[in-house]
Amino acid sequence: MKNIIDFFKSFLLLELLKGMSVTGKYFFARHITVEYPEEKTPQSFRFRGLHAQRRYPNGEERCIGCKLCEAVCPALAIKIEVAERADGSRRTTQYDIDLVKCIFCGFCEESCPVDAIVETRVYEYHGENRGDLYYTKAMLLANGDKHEAQIAKDRAADAKYR
Amino acid sequence: MINIEIDGKQIQTENGSTVIEAAHQAGIEIPHFCYHKKLSIAANCRMCLVQVEKAPKPLPACATPVTEGMKVFTHSEQAVKAQKGVMEFLLINHPLDCPICDQGGECMLQDISVGYGGGHSRYHEEKRVVLAKDLGPLVSAEEMSRCINCTRCVRFGQEIAGQMELGQAFRSEHAEIMSFVSGSVNSELSGNMIDLCPVGALTSKPFRYKARSWELSRRRSVSAHDSLGSNLAVQTKNNRVLRVLPIENEDINECWLSDKDRFAYEGLNTADRLTKPMIKQDGKWQEVEWQVALEYAANGLRHIANGAGAEQVGALATANSTLEELYLLQKLMRGIGSDNVDFRLRQSDFSSDGKQQGAPWLGMSVSDIGRADRLLIVGSFLRKDHPLLAARIRRAAKSGAQVNIVHSADDDLLMNVAHKAIVAPDALVETLTQVSKALAAEKQGQSTGGDAGAIARSLAGGERVAVLLGNFAQQHPQAAQLQALAQQISALSNGKFGFLVEAANSVGGHLVQATPGAKGLNAAAMLATPRKAYVLLNVEAELDCADPQQAMAAMQAADMVIAMSAYKHHATEYADVLLPVAPFSETSGTFVSAEGRVQSFKGAVKPLGEVRPAWKVLRVLGNLLKVDGFDQDTSEAVRDEAMKGVDVPARLNNAIGGVEARAASAASGLQRVADVPIYATDAVVRRSAPLQATADAAIPQAWMHGDELKKLGVQSGAVVKVSQGQGSVQLFAAADDKLPKGVVRVAAGHAATASLGAMFGTISVERA
């Protein structure tokens, strides 16, 4: 009996039609894939991408070298050295993030008492050489300067939840 | 004993103790700020409020004495409400600058506010601002707004340091801690205020912004700078010593540390550290490999030992070298056939050698000193030479002990001194003889007049008498006689006598016999009759020796000087080989403290550059010179070998006999009284920038009695020419009417006076 049913199924191309109907359904359904890089997914204002160091509007760097981010970093990706600046304030002389180690958990951002270290929406960056992804203070500050408008907007949007 | 109940726990406690003490005994934590077990009760922070049954209001646990059957609740609703209320008030004016505060991470206010603080502040008005104060180079008071007015620092000054250098001025919200008119805090114990401060108001100036507390690794160590043997926690980061804190040890340093121990570390990584072996060739210094330097040194020694004779080789070490180093040094010298080895560089009278079998020591335990009821302190710049022992004696004096002084200078000891006899150095023996005679007469019921009589009467009335010989007495040209007299006096008063031992390992040096034997030369003789070769261990000849002139002459005349040192110092002028050896923080080793406590420690950091621990250097030198028994692998092995068969308590013995009375050489003219300033005692301390910026490290002056100045016809503050032997220096004259007449006090151990001669003896002063 089973053999007879199988014979008719294959003779009438039933399986083929079944498969084609699935294909046909998706052919007319709404697309859900994103055509990266032409298209991009929407981002949360809490998106955790490339790090940046922020400044105050008067140009003064925010970071005071409290090292809370260094202490909290689970991947030990942050390295900070601090010294007293000529004006007596506490400032970093070195602030490095090794993005190869970083796991983008956002703890650094969360622990920062002055919103100095932030994670931006930028995720399109790469390194071609060993060490390219070792971000120094100058690079992080440059990131901050470049994206400050977006960063400020995102902090403002997040403020009411904090 | 009293029975009380705290949080339902039955506790037996001593009558007269307070609730907080009872709670701490039982391991119950009560939050507190102003309470400190070593200080008086102030009860002004109110953080320790607890509920006591039948009391209408919460009571401060620190100021409430226990009573029989008392029931205390430390975490009841009422208590916690009170504690939270106090916390909220304390936080009203406390700035929110924990992220940049050096106290962050080890702050009592931070810790306790986690438990008792609110999530937000209800205070929206302006916060109080207290202006920064300048308290000198050690204690930073940059952020006095952080102060919660617990007054621990004030009480420490009054009660432990003996001088109230900080006080609380103004009232209520305007109350602030400030120094008096003089400005800076000059106490030699000032660093303890940093530890005591429960918040970040008083912090360490050299440590400012250097590291956060959680980044530091902690290593146990032992103080290398005085003979107390204070226990240290050396805190390091990235292979550098960044801070030194006390480790509590009730029998030694309690919970304190002198500024010398605390801030000396700043001298460890200075630019003049010697990091590579160097040899001098054709008058030029060259950096070489260890192998080359060691072979050069060994060949030089062998050459002189074989040629001129081994007795032409002398070894000098400082008394803060470790036990292992001193042991190997003497073993090396004896191995090549020389008996000339010594570490008592500032001693001038060696006539007790051979008459005293044991190692001179404190004669009692440190805590015994605190329990003594009559003390006689002979020849000691007590406060500066032994800051923490002085604090112990100060406390004893406060609780009724009578402190008597026989000395050649009358510095303020910041304690009640019962009687004192301030005499010129050559009259010290005579004065002590008088005390001894008066004491003998006192036993017969006869009373003697004068200072000596008063001192004798004071000693005769005591049950626990301690006679202590200070550094000045040990360096005195009649030291043996002083020792014999101290022995006599202590025997007459049924007391104990001992030495306020000069340096960290003086006792250890005696234990491992780093002293010349019968045919050897002692430190003074080695320099008086110059040798052809010297081996120096940590020695800076012009600063560490009793007679810098003589020492330098001997060094310059020598054919070969091997200097093992952590620093490039004046040895570059006379040495032939410089071997970089590790200071105490970079080597493992052992110190034997004044009371005979053998304390070993490990290196806190790795040696800098090519520096090697001195015991390893000596070991290899031993191998190169083919001396037997130089095959130890660890410093522990060296220590075990050195201490094998050494019964420390049995070896500690101050008893001396057969000292013949020798009159002091008749002094004509002025006599020198030389102290070694507190921050000039050893190589590391001398290089610590913050310590050198303190008032105690000021350039030495020529202190004289006002009448002596008048005789010279100079005013205080005028420049005078001070000469001794072939050397002379120009110093400022200064008047100190408490000095005996006929003496000039000129400090030793300082570069400014290094061209002068012996620490004792005649000295001339003339108008410049």
Burial tier of B492 (Cβ tally within 10 Å: 0-12, 13-18, 19+): buried
Whether residues B99 and A113 touch (CB distance < 8 A) is answered with yes
pLDDT band for A1, please (50, 70, 90 cuts). confident
Residue B100: its chain A contacts at CB < 8 A? 64-66, 90
Chain A touched by B84 (CB under 8 Å): no
Amino acid at B8: G
Best of A69, A82, A111 to disrupt the B interface (most B CBs within 10 Å) is A82
Torsion of CA B25, B30, B31, B37, to 10 degrees: -30
Q: Confirm if B485 and B396 have CB atoms less than 8 A apart.
A: no
Chain B touched by A83 (CB under 8 Å): yes
Predicted pLDDT at B664:
65
Q: Confirm if B254 and B248 have CB atoms less than 8 A apart.
A: yes
Q: Number of CB pairs < 8 Å for A and B?
A: 26
Whether residues A113 and B104 touch (CB distance < 8 A) is answered with no
Q: Which of B102, B104, B257 is nearest to B192 (CA)?
A: B257
Residue B143: its chain A contacts at CB < 8 A? none
Residue B131: its chain A contacts at CB < 8 A? none
Q: How many CB atoms lie within 10 A of CB B740?
A: 20
Can you tell me the mean pLDDT for A34-47? 92
Å between A82 CA and nearest CA of chain B = 7
Give chain A as a DSSP string: -HHHHHHHHHHTTHHHHHHHHHHHHHHHSPP----TTTS-----TT---SEEE-B-TTS-B------HHHHH-TT--EEEEEEE-TTS-EEEEEEEEETTT-----HHHHH-TTS-EEE-S------SSTTTTEE-HHHHHHHHHHHHHHHHHHHHHHHTT-
Residue A82: its chain B contacts at CB < 8 A? 209-211
CA distances from B167 to A107, B140, B163, B175, B177 (A): 43, 16, 11, 10, 6
pLDDT band for A162, please (50, 70, 90 cuts). confident
Q: Is the pLDDT of residue B312 over 70?
A: yes
* Model confidence pLDDT, tens digit, residues B344-391: 999 999 999 888 878 999 999 999 999 999 999 999 999 999 999 999
Q: Is the pLDDT of residue B181 over 80?
A: no
Å between A24 CA and nearest CA of chain B = 59
Residue A113: its chain B contacts at CB < 8 A? 98-99
Chain B touched by A71 (CB under 8 Å): yes
Predicted pLDDT at A12:
86
Chain A touched by B100 (CB under 8 Å): yes
DSSP code at position B565 = E
Residue B98: its chain A contacts at CB < 8 A? 66, 113
* Model confidence pLDDT, tens digit, residues B194-227: 999 999 999 999 999 999 999 999 999 999 999 9
Residue B605 has φ and ψ, to the nearest 5°, of -135, 165
Helix, strand, coil % in chain B, rounded to nearest 5:
35, 20, 45
Residue A64: its chain B contacts at CB < 8 A? 99-100
3-class state of residue B643 by DSSP: coil
Q: Give the residue on A whose Cα is nearest the Cα of B211.
A: A82
Residue A65: its chain B contacts at CB < 8 A? 100, 209
The ipTM (two decimal places) reads 0.84
Tokens, residue B396: 């004893």
Q: Confirm if B47 and B86 have CB atoms less than 8 A apart.
A: yes
Q: Give the residue on A whose Cα is nearest the Cα of B99.
A: A66
Give B586-600 as a DSSP string: GS-EEEE-TT--EEE
Whether residues B99 and A64 touch (CB distance < 8 A) is answered with yes
Q: Confirm if B254 and B38 have CB atoms less than 8 A apart.
A: yes
Crossing angle of the two packed helices B479-492 and B428-443, in degrees rounded to 10: 20
Å between A50 CA and nearest CA of chain B = 24
This prediction has a pTM of: 0.92
- Among B100, B209, B214, select the one facing A71 at the smallest CB separation: B214
Å between B245 CA and nearest CA of chain A = 21
Can you tell me the mean pLDDT for A38-54? 94
Residue B209: its chain A contacts at CB < 8 A? 65, 82-84, 90
Q: What is the mean pLDDT of chain A?
A: 93
Chain A touched by B170 (CB under 8 Å): no
Q: Is the pLDDT of residue A149 over 70?
A: yes
Question: What is the distance between the alpha carbons of residues B154 and B161, in angstroms, rounded to a whole number?
Answer: 10
Q: Give the residue on B whose Cα is nearest the Cα of A64.
A: B100
Predicted pLDDT at B669:
84
Whether residues B100 and A114 touch (CB distance < 8 A) is answered with no
Predicted pLDDT at A15:
87
Chain A touched by B727 (CB under 8 Å): no
Any residues with CB less than 8 A from the CB of B372 and at least 6 apart, and which?
Answer: B364, B396, B401, B462, B464, B465, B466, B495
Contacting A residues, span 111-140, partner chain B, CB-CB under 8 Å: 113-114
- Among B98, B100, B214, select the one facing A90 at the smallest CB separation: B100
Chain A touched by B212 (CB under 8 Å): yes
Chain A touched by B120 (CB under 8 Å): no
- Among B98, B99, B209, select the one facing A83 at the smallest CB separation: B209
Which of B79-83, B100-104, B665-669 bottoms out in mean pLDDT, i.e. has the lowest? B665-669
pLDDT band for B172, please (50, 70, 90 cuts). confident
Tokens, residue A121: 């929406």
Q: Is the pLDDT of residue A39 over 70?
A: yes
Residue A116: its chain B contacts at CB < 8 A? none
Tell how far CA A59 is from the center of its chain: 25
